[in-house]
Amino acid sequence: MAMPTEMDEMSDMGAMAGEMQAAGDEMQSMLDAELPSIRGMFSETAMNALVDATNAALEASGFEGDYPEFTEDVTEFPGEFLRVLAMLADAGEEAGAAVDLSMDGIEDDRDVAMLASQVKQLASDERFTSMMTAAPEVEASVTVAPGGQVEEEALMMERM
């Protein structure tokens, strides 16, 4: 029986990585299909005001606020931008922020300006920022054996 070579193992790992990427892409496609499609006539100025507000909310939540500005008028919100807005809306709702980032009924620059205003409010909402920037709480328990030594087996079991 031949021993697997390092090349075989790398090939297997590459195949697994490809399968995992395909599964991730499929999951993202399913999530994207649930996002609203926002179409209308949106000016570069209005969209960039929304981008500025979105980047401020991202920074307030501990992420890089680096969504790029638009360089022309648009007729449909890009999918990636919708994902960012949906993420902020979900996080705001979970934090109990007094902001509604509903994307229903957005048809023109006035609607985009109202959404930008809501996103700015989210960026300054204390509940949102504290929830997003708080360190996650991790509960750990350690069993100490007589004599003050930590039981290795107990530690290993907790890791599993």
73 vs 65: CA distance, rounded Å: 21
The pLDDT of residue 99 is 85
Q: Which tops the pLDDT comparison, 72 or 138? A: 72
Q: Is the Cβ–Cβ distance between 113 and 45 less than 8 Å? A: no
Q: Say whether pLDDT at 14 is over 80.
A: no
The pLDDT of residue 12 is 73
Least confident of 2-16, 39-53, 119-133: 2-16
Which of the residue ranges 37-41, 95-99, 137-141 has the most confident prediction, judged by mean pLDDT? Answer: 37-41
The pLDDT of residue 104 is 87
H or E stretch at 39: strand 39-42
Domain boundaries, the chain: 31-133
68 vs 78: CA distance, rounded Å: 12
